[in-house]
Amino acid sequence: MAVFDTPQEAFGILRPVCVQLTKVQTTENVERLQAQLQTVSDSALQELQEYVLFPLRFTLKTPGPKRESLVQSVVQCITSILSTTCVKKQDLLQELFSELCLCLSSPSGLQPPAPLSEELKLTVIQALHVLMHSAYGDIILTLYQPSTLPHLGFAISLLLALAEQEKAKQIKLAALKCLQVLILQCDCQEHHRLLDTVETRQCGNLFASFLPGISIALSRVITGDIKQGHMVTVSAIRLFYQTACLVIADEQLATITQDEEKPSVEQSRLSELVIHRGPDWVKSTAGKLSLLIHKIVEFASLHPHWKVRMELVELVYHLMLKCSQSLVESVGHLLKALVGLVNDESNEVQSKCREILRSIAERRTVAENRALADVLSENLHSLATALPRLMNSQDDQGKFSTLSLLLGSLKLLGPKVNIVLNSAAHLQRLSKALMQVLELDVADVKIVEERRWGPEDSLGEPLGSLQHGKGQKKYFRFFIDERIFLLIQQVCRVLGYYGNLYLLVDHFMGLYNESVVYRKQAAMVLNELITGAAGLGVDVLHERETAVSTEDLKGTITSILEEYTDQANWYLTTSIDTEGTSDELTVKHSRVHALPRGAHSSSLISSSSPSSDPSPTIRSMNSNIWQICIQLEGVGCFAYVLGKEFRLLLASVLYPVLEKAGDSTLLISQTATGTMLDVCHACGYDSVQNLINANSDYLVNGISLNLRRVAHQPHASRVLEAMLRHSGASLLPLVEDVIRDVLSALDQFYDDRASSFLGVLSTLVAALVQWFVVVKGKEHPQEQQSSTSSQKQGKGSVITPMVQEVEQFFLGYIKQTQIAEGNLPAMEEEEEEVQAPPPEPEMNDTGAEGETPLPAHAQIAKDVMERCIHLLSDKSLRVRLKVLDVLEFCVIVLHLHENHLLPMAHRAWPALVTRLINDDPLAVLRAFKVLCTLAEKCGDFLRRRFSKDVLPKLAGSLVTQAPVSARAGPVYSHTLAFKLQLAVLQGLGSLCEKLDLGESDLNKVADACLIYLSAKQPVKLQEAARSVFLHLMCVDPDATWLLLNEICCPLPYEPPHPSLQPVKLGGMGRQRTEFTDNVLGLLGELQRRETAAFQAGPQEAPEPQPPSLTEALG
Amino acid sequence: MALPPPDPQFVLRGTSAEVHTLHFYCGGQEPDYPILFSGSSNGLIHVWNLKTRRVNTILDGHGGKSVYWVEAIYGRDRLLSQGRNQKICLWDLAEGRNTVTDSVFTENVGFCKCSLLKVAQGHWLMAMPGKDLDEVQVLELPSKTSVCTLKPEADAKPGMPMCLKLWQPDFGSCPFLLAGYEDGSVILWNLSGGKILSRLACHQEPVMSLDFDSEKMKGVSGSSEEVLTVWSLDEQQNLKVQKTHKLVNAGIADVAIRQDKKILATAGWDHRIRIFGWKNLKPLAILDYHTATVHCVSFSDHSRPSERLLAAGSKDHRISIWSIYNPTSGALHCPLETRKPD
């Protein structure tokens, strides 16, 4: 299609259509004009703009009713003209503006907008939009004169009405968009003329008149039906803040002076419309706006669509940026929105919020604006006041946002938080709120119930290595969500970060001491405060000016720790069955009185009274457990905060923590173990073991001091146990000192504290075995005996057995060669020879050699053994059992020092025998084990005593029990009697061998055990009995062979010559009996051994069968 | 109601020998930690860091013979130590050194501890047992020149000096020496004239130790018998017995008055440390921790009264440190206590 570039050509084309339209105003004509317009170039059209517009405007202005379609096409045509041209005359602009507005108004002019079709409305709005954009240069400003105020007002009210009342989303959006253009805040791509400050101020003045209308209408739009779509809400919000920023921006208001002359307007009615934005006006407007903002914030922050929430964030941002002074009253609401949205579920919103918060904080709007700080602190106060109530009533989500708000306010206040804290009332509110919120749920019975069993696992392997800051999962009364706890944690840390540490610590320490109700929470808060003060794990908006110095931190931490580990706060009743609870409590009570510390004392006594309640309830014990755990976690926190500096505090802290690591309540011991790990990492030790080793001097100090107090002895012994378990032989010199203390304490309280000390003693001797016996044995497996030769004291005693060995070897060798040569010595002689050595040790026993000084560890073992002898006859079975354990270890430690062991064994014997023959089966069992060890270490020293005191009884009981076990059912193997039988049978064999028993005793043993070879006996007993015989075979193979053959003889022994009498053995030709299987098995084994020995070295081994045969026959 | 006895604040272990003497040095400013010097019977001097409660350095300079007097001089950098090898050593401890820079040979073989008095900046007087058994020699330090030799007249026969205390009245410049002798008497010497000013026979047994309060002009002495004697010095320079206190068990190895002149501590042969109010010798506490004779007691000179400590060294190889009757700890942890000493 041809384009007419010159105005002349264009005029030629357009003239007829325009004339036609002027004459006959129909839609067709308008459309024709529209069509012609397409053929005209933009520049030509610009020249002819007014000409072309005339018929159209004429059409609109023609009085009388018009068809809507006509109006619509006319307006469309105008729009298309305007969109390609610009309006250069201000008259034209104003006229067009009002003509277009009139299109929408109802004829009566009172009830806008007219009930027109939606299409028309939309067209007109778009036309207005285009008109505003087509205004050329400064012309647009002519619309914003006081004189045009009514027009403008009319347009705005029209558009607002449309935005508010129309159903169609498109119209709403278009109206809002148009409004945006009207207030000169169009955000479209086109270039807009930027206003200078004076012009901005003028516009501001002008729009001040509309602000109430716009803001109210918009707030209605915003809070309208959610179904209107998020776009509408978003643009309404945008428009709202843009308008507000235009009118009450701080910058503008600052330039408005009181005496500023009113715009010179001739018409008095107009001058009434113009508003002077003086302070009074600002104040009242801000008050009204504040209400609206509050409404908007409430609504929008819960809007389901994230874009709305995002726009809300923008609103906050702009208002905070531009109007933070004028809108001071609303700042609270604004921040609330912002802070609440920091944890929004949409990431975009979150990050935007964070960014804005940071920028607000960075610009120090808060820090420099006293009024704002006041508002914030007032906010904080009311929030703190409401917090407990909210915590009670809200759901977790609500609690979460409430706390977010609290946290946000604190963060924004930053260093100004001290203004709040310095006010006693505020601090009181805040702290009480925290106390209530953090209240723990202590109804759980399980915590008290769960006990730690077995001391072994205490520190060795970290139980699921607790990481710092994790701690035990706590159960709170008012919330479940873990995120809420994290928020509170942050609140405390932020407080610690910005706040005056001394003030805070002092205050919360006061609460800690004030009542047992607050104690746990206060401790929790204190832990977090310190962490925050060190700047660890705290998320803040801006850096504080001065960090707390390490020295200050250390001082604070030291005083907190002192309080934590104070008797009244550290030794709490956590279970009913603790041994000696009663006297512990009484002691504690008296300590409290003995340690009155000025004003402090009264609270101490009153606060400790619940714990010293004679019958602690589950609840109170549970609470105590938690308190200890929290304090332990605190120790971990503090270590984390101080790092290596914490090493200095170990002197006072390590002992109490280790003490708790051995606590019998599972939760406490776990927490303490975690704390140990934390401390270990913080102080730069590789392992808990290293930590203990490197600081054993501190521990020893603690142990020794605590041993002096009856009530703390069990704790002290627990710590010593833990220490022993984790350190090496190098510790011995240090420990030695304490062991003396332990032993003397034991001597003092042997009747009622024995069991707790025995724990230590058993750990001690077990450690000694580990350090001095097992380790040495491993290092020099073959030199085990000579290892002590390095210790000059042991020399004499060790060499004797070696000499004896060598001697015996040669004696044996000579004998064997003689046998090989057929020179058989008489049986009696041999026996005598074997029996010859035993008297010697007994001589030694009485001799003066026992006086030789011992190495330290052996001396300790000896001292311990001495106590054990006395305690062997304790009235409590548990103690007796424990003593037997300890005794066994002592024997093992001492076995290298026979000169000391034998006298001790001699002294221990009577008591041990009583245990063996006249005690509870459990004790018998244990005592028998000790006996086996003792026999192994002392050897034939015990032979006579054994055969005289013990063997008859043992054999007797075996014989009497045999029919019982033979008859018994499968359950029998779970009974104590069975275990006892089994143990005796298992141990008896090696005992015979070790003690080198005489023939008659061996016969006794064999007789007693023979019954157990019966197939009727439980399998295990049969096995054990077989083992006895296997041992007997070693001691005396021939007698054993004969005995077995008496029962059952598998082979006929044909005499080699008929002149010899036939061999008759008791078992020959017997029917298969209950014993047959076992006996045959044993005989087979015997045969195998003998042949093996024969083949290995016929000259060394005794002749297998013939001699026994001869003996049997003889 | 029998209240439990107080406990030591902590116990230092590791000397592995009897502890014969203790001396605090807490004068340093913050980065410096308070120090306790201890001399033990194996000839070693341990330098304890009271902050970490651990041994910092071990000084070995007395050939394995027991050390029975140590005192810091020139701040913490120099140390005087007297040992049974008849030597008084001057140690240089600055910048981590530990060398003997100077020593004085004493011809005396007794157990008498020296006494040191600062007379001017950089000048000290040191009283030490002299060559003759009953003689006391006073040296000027650091020059080591003999100032005077104090020898009782031939007919006095007080026996060997057992303990010495140099002091100087606040107003006058002339220093005095108080010496306790074997026969149980305490003699006040005037150093300028070398004359006996007063002699007080206050014990039946040898005087084991004494301490003197130059403000109140009264002193205290303990001997191997079960009596603690307080005597005063009047205007005419006469010593007079003011009060005696009877103990249950005999033997006081050491006495020490705290710097603030409020309390007095004694080291007992009965393993106990006793605390008395200095004003009226009121028994305040019995500190029972050691398991053998207590050889020495010493109060720290910490600038902050609240951190002042009491240390006691014993035959059981341990040094117990007590925090007791300190102003900030308010009321007292003591069984016998009824009110705060003033």
How far is it, in rounded angstroms, from Cα B166 to Cα B152?
17
- How many angstroms separate the CA of residue A750 from the nearest CA in chain B? 20
Query: Can you tell me the mean pLDDT for A642-648?
Result: 87
* Residue where the block lists tokens 């220093």: B175
pLDDT in the model for residue A244: 84
pLDDT in the model for residue A371: 66
Query: Can you tell me the mean pLDDT for A1058-1071?
Result: 74
pLDDT in the model for residue A107: 60
Q: Which of A112-121, A166-175, A432-441, A587-596 has the lowest mean pLDDT?
A: A587-596
Q: If you average pLDDT over each of A406-420, A439-453, A549-563, A843-857, which comes out highest?
A: A549-563
CB contacts of B15 in chain A (<8 Å) are: none
pLDDT in the model for residue A193: 63
CB contacts of A742 in chain B (<8 Å) are: none
Count H helices, E strands: chain B? 0, 28
Give the residue numbers in B contacting A (CB under 8 Å), as ranges: 1, 3-4, 7-8, 10-11, 13-14, 16, 51-54, 289, 291, 317-318, 329-331, 333
* Number of neighbours of residue B151 by Cβ within 10 angstroms: 15
Closest residue to A709, CB basis, from B4, B54, B331 = B4
Residue B50 has pLDDT above 70, yes or no: yes
- Element holding B179 (H helix, E strand): strand B176-181
CB contacts of B10 in chain A (<8 Å) are: 651, 701, 705
Buried b (16+ CB within 10 A) or exposed e, B96-130: eebebeebbebebeebbbbbbbebeeeebbbbbbb
Whether A594 sits inside 8 A of B331 (CB atoms) is no
Size of interface A-B (CB pairs under 8 A): 49
- How many angstroms separate the CA of residue B3 from the nearest CA in chain A? 7
Whether B3 sits inside 8 A of A704 (CB atoms) is no
Whether B11 sits inside 8 A of A651 (CB atoms) is no
Tell whether omega for the bond before A455 is within 30 degrees of 0, i.e. cis.
Answer: no
- How many angstroms separate the CA of residue B55 from the nearest CA in chain A? 11
Query: Can you tell me the mean pLDDT for A592-609?
Result: 37
Give the CA distances from residue A746 to residues A657, A717, A868, A890, in Å, rounded to whole numbers and listed in that order.
Answer: 24, 11, 11, 17
- How many angstroms separate the CA of residue A594 from the nearest CA in chain B? 6
Q: Which of A256-270, A673-687, B3-17, B230-244 has the lowest mean pLDDT?
A: A256-270
Which is more confident, B194 or B170?
A: B194
What pLDDT, in 10s, does the model give residues A234-269? 888 888 888 888 888 877 777 776 545 555 545 566
What pLDDT, in 10s, does the model give residues B273-312? 999 999 888 888 889 888 899 999 999 888 777 788 899 9
What pLDDT, in 10s, does the model give residues A70-94? 888 888 888 888 888 888 887 888 8
**ipTM > 0.90 for the complex:** no
Closest residue to B13, CB basis, from A594, A648, A700 = A700
How far is it, in rounded angstroms, from Cα B320 to Cα B12?
6
Whether A701 sits inside 8 A of B329 (CB atoms) is no
- How many angstroms separate the CA of residue A588 from the nearest CA in chain B? 11
Whether B53 sits inside 8 A of A591 (CB atoms) is no
Which is more confident, B39 or B109?
A: B39
Q: Which residue of A has its CA nearest to B9?
A: A705
Distance between the two ends of chain B, CA-based, in angstroms? Answer: 24
Q: Residue A14 contacts by C-beta under 8 Å, 6 or more apart in sequence?
A: A33, A36, A37, A40, A48, A51, A52
Contact, B214 vs B167, CB < 8 A?
yes
* Residue where the block lists tokens 């083949």: A1095
Give the residue numbers in A contacting B (CB under 8 Å), as ranges: 587, 590-591, 593-598, 647-648, 651, 697-698, 700-701, 704-705, 708-709, 733-734, 737, 744
Sheet holding B185-190, edge to edge: B161-167, B176-181, B185-190, B195-201
Give the CA distances from residue A300 to residues A161, A166, A236, A243, A296, in Å, rounded to whole numbers and listed in that order.
Answer: 21, 21, 11, 18, 6
pLDDT in the model for residue A469: 46
Contact, A904 vs A940, CB < 8 A?
no
Closest residue to A651, CB basis, from B3, B10, B333 = B10
CB contacts of B330 in chain A (<8 Å) are: 596-598
- Element holding B312 (H helix, E strand): strand B310-314
Confidence of residue A106 (pLDDT cuts 50, 70, 90): low
Whether A651 sits inside 8 A of B52 (CB atoms) is yes
Closest residue to A598, CB basis, from B317, B318, B330 = B330
Q: For chain A, what percent of residues have pLDDT higher than 90?
A: 3
* Residue where the block lists tokens 């068809």: A67
CB contacts of B329 in chain A (<8 Å) are: 597
Whether B53 sits inside 8 A of A705 (CB atoms) is no
CB contacts of A593 in chain B (<8 Å) are: 3
Query: Can you tell me the mean pLDDT for A962-967?
Result: 84
Buried b (16+ CB within 10 A) or exposed e, A1034-1043: ebbbbbbbbb
What pLDDT, in 10s, does the model give residues A308-334? 888 888 888 888 888 877 777 777 778
- Element holding B244 (H helix, E strand): strand B239-246
What pLDDT, in 10s, does the model give residues A27-66? 888 888 888 888 888 888 888 888 888 888 888 777 767 7
Query: Can you tell me the mean pLDDT for A124-137?
Result: 81
Best of A565, A566, A704 to substitute, by most chain B Cβ atoms within 10 angstroms, is A704
What pLDDT, in 10s, does the model give residues A333-376? 787 788 778 777 788 888 888 888 778 777 765 555 666 677 77
Closest residue to A701, CB basis, from B11, B51, B331 = B11
Query: Can you tell me the mean pLDDT for A207-231?
Result: 84
pLDDT in the model for residue B335: 41
- How many angstroms separate the CA of residue B11 from the nearest CA in chain A? 6
Whether B1 sits inside 8 A of A651 (CB atoms) is no
Mean pLDDT score of chain A, rounded to an integer?
Answer: 76
Confidence of residue A832 (pLDDT cuts 50, 70, 90): very low
Whether B16 sits inside 8 A of A709 (CB atoms) is no
Closest residue to A594, CB basis, from B4, B13, B53 = B4
Q: For chain A, what percent of residues have pLDDT higher than 70?
A: 82
pLDDT in the model for residue A470: 55
CB contacts of B11 in chain A (<8 Å) are: 701, 704-705
Whether B331 sits inside 8 A of A651 (CB atoms) is no
Contact, A372 vs A324, CB < 8 A?
yes
Sheet holding B19-25, edge to edge: B19-25, B35-40, B44-49, B54-60
Q: Which residue of B has its CA nearest to A731?
A: B14
Q: Residue A1059 contacts by C-beta under 8 Å, 6 or more apart in sequence?
A: none
Closest residue to A708, CB basis, from B7, B16, B53 = B7
Whether A594 sits inside 8 A of B10 (CB atoms) is no
Q: Which residues are paired to B209 by β-bridges?
A: B222
Residue A903 has pLDDT above 60, yes or no: yes
pLDDT in the model for residue B229: 92
